[in-house]
Amino acid sequence: MSSDSRNLRKLHTVADAERLAQQRLPRPVFDYIAGGAGAELTSEANISAIRQEIFRPRMGETIGIEPRDTKRSLFGTPSSLPIAVGPVGFTRSMHPLGDVAGARAASVLGIPFCQSSMSGHTIEEVGAAAKAFWYQLYPLGGRQGGEQMMQRAASAGASTLVVTMDTVVPGNRERDLAYGAALPVRVNRKTMRTMTKYVATKPRWLVNAARDRFQFPLANTHGMTRDGRTLREDEALMYWIVEPPTWSDLAWMREQWKGSLVVKGLLTSDDARRAVDAGADGIIVSNHGGRQLDQTSTSLAALREIAPAVGDHVEVMMDGGIRRGSDVAVALCAGARGVLVGRSWVYGLAAGGEQGVQRVLEIIRNDLVRTMQLLGVRHIDELGPDLLQSAR
Ligand SMILES: Cc1cc2nc3c(=O)[nH]c(=O)nc-3n(C[C@H](O)[C@H](O)[C@H](O)COP(=O)(O)O)c2cc1C
């Protein structure tokens, strides 16, 4: 057995994967993942809000060894779990296979993979690696660039377009500022020079990154055009920053996109209703893992406001703070159709590439199944508010 597989077998929790990621990554890359905006109140509160919930298990209802049914369709995509792998930018700086590794691992588990617009791999590469493929849209290159990405995503088999609305500017990630990196954090040859002291102690990362020729591109801006002219990466970024999506853009995207259209990053029922009015099929309640505006409501609190407000015909997922299977159970009991995992999967990626992501997803899946057994439920449809004390 290779030392890699031995190390991965020693991972029993997402926290173990986080520790291994911290050992392997240069500090600026680790901090880019782990950090939140401002005083990091929201990124921490997302986790503690979930953990403050108290289960009310039912005894004597089911037999422990009975199989549990965890299948659920998410925005029309069949999934073996009420979980999708969420969009995370710059994953190629964490492991050379980045989103391709994540997509392959998600496919092994039978769950959707959502690629970020800030990906180091092309839509076509990731679409080919994912059995169930979603694409997260930041309109890099403005409306014209956004349209080109939507067409490519549709051709690459994406069933769901996830439009993230909470990123009009990047949040104030104070950890990143300490490294003098430009926002969004980029690891390229220039910043590598300032990072030498952090990189020198991480030979494994360095060898991998060198083999990858230190390529951490915004791969999906390559070949993007505007008014017939090919854009550079920085120009594509600039057009997104000056033209972040508004509700009228969402209505326009609805006309362009034939699959499921989902809005990510909403925290109030008013915004959720606007999204639905503009044609969204679903909502992902999210504060971006506490990386955008600090001191917002936690994802769990916002879920409780939004889910009842939009009605049954609009699917509502949640992300933020999912580190265990029991966290997934709490979110479902509180009204989520499913959850996205963010930092959890990229800790697995940094710890061990595709196998590392697979390990993390299995840890969460196994814990969800055990939690269901201990709660006395057979099917995830039975996870409802009556299993939480807060509903009383
Ligand atoms: C390093 C990092 C990069 C991210 N990049 C994106 C992105 O490009 N697009 C996006 O919609 N969300 C992005 N997110 C937010 C995640 O999709 C998700 O909302 C968040 O990570 C959930 O919180 P959690 O990490 O506590 O699970 C990013 C999150 C992290 C940690």
Does residue 182 carry a pLDDT above 70? no
- Residue 324, phi then psi, degrees to nearest 5: -140, 160
pLDDT at 215: 76
Does residue 194 carry a pLDDT above 80? no
| Centroid of ligand 1 to alpha carbon of 89 (angstroms) | 7
Mean pLDDT of 31-60: 97
Index of the ligand 1 atom closest to the CA of residue 288 = 19
Among 12, 95, 222, 288, the active-site one is: 288
Q: Which residue lies with its CA nearest to atom 13 of ligand 1?
A: 88
Index of the ligand 1 atom closest to the CA of residue 290 = 23
pLDDT at 1: 60
| Centroid of ligand 1 to alpha carbon of 290 (angstroms) | 9
Does residue 183 carry a pLDDT above 50? no
* Range in 38-42, 105-109, 211-215, 245-249 with the lowest mean pLDDT: 211-215
| Centroid of ligand 1 to alpha carbon of 40 (angstroms) | 14
* Range in 60-64, 78-82, 249-253, 342-346 with the lowest mean pLDDT: 60-64
- Residue 374, phi then psi, degrees to nearest 5: -75, -25
| Centroid of ligand 1 to alpha carbon of 325 (angstroms) | 19
Does residue 8 carry a pLDDT above 80? yes
Index of the ligand 1 atom closest to the CA of residue 164 = 11
| pLDDT level of residue 392 (50, 70, 90 thresholds) | low
Index of the ligand 1 atom closest to the CA of residue 32 = 1
Give long-range contacts, CB 8 A cutoff, 24+ apart: 336-339.
Answer: 336/82, 336/285, 336/303, 336/307, 337/72, 337/74, 337/82, 338/72, 338/74, 338/79, 338/81, 338/82, 338/83, 338/84, 339/82, 339/83, 339/84
Which tokens hold the place of 306?
């939004």
| pLDDT level of residue 133 (50, 70, 90 thresholds) | very high
pLDDT at 184: 45
Pocket, ligand 1, Cβ cutoff 6 A: 32-33, 46, 86-89, 116, 118, 136, 164, 264, 286, 288-289, 291, 319-322, 341-344
Quick: pLDDT tens for 136-158.
Answer: 999 999 999 999 999 999 999 99
Mean pLDDT of 244-268: 96
Quick: pLDDT tens for 272-321.
Answer: 999 999 999 999 999 999 999 999 999 999 999 999 999 889 999 999 99
Contact between residue 102 and residue 357 where contact means Cβ atoms under 8 Å apart: yes
Quick: pLDDT tens for 341-389.
Answer: 999 999 999 999 999 999 999 999 999 999 999 999 999 999 999 999 9
Cβ burial of 174 (10 Å; 0-12, 13-18, 19+) is middle
Does residue 72 carry a pLDDT above 90? yes
Which tokens hold the place of 373?
């057994």
Q: What is the Cα–Cα distance from 64 to 150, expressed in whole angstroms?
A: 46
pTM: 0.96
Probe target for ligand 1 pocket from 41, 44, 88, with the most ligand atoms within 8 Å of CB: 88
CA distances from 86 to 113, 136, 235, 294, 317 (A): 7, 9, 26, 20, 11
Index of the ligand 1 atom closest to the CA of residue 321 = 26
| Centroid of ligand 1 to alpha carbon of 289 (angstroms) | 6
Whether residue 313 lies in the annotated active site: no
pLDDT at 39: 97
| Centroid of ligand 1 to alpha carbon of 387 (angstroms) | 29
pLDDT at 188: 62
Average pLDDT, the chain: 94
pLDDT at 49: 98
3-state secondary structure 99-114: HHHHHHHHHHHCCCEE
* Range in 87-101, 120-134, 296-310, 378-392 with the lowest mean pLDDT: 378-392
Does residue 187 carry a pLDDT above 80? no
| pLDDT level of residue 193 (50, 70, 90 thresholds) | confident
pLDDT at 301: 98
Q: Which residue lies with its CA nearest to atom 6 of ligand 1?
A: 88
- Residue 190, phi then psi, degrees to nearest 5: -70, -50
Does residue 74 carry a pLDDT above 50? yes
Contact between residue 144 and residue 227 where contact means Cβ atoms under 8 Å apart: yes
Does residue 391 carry a pLDDT above 80? no
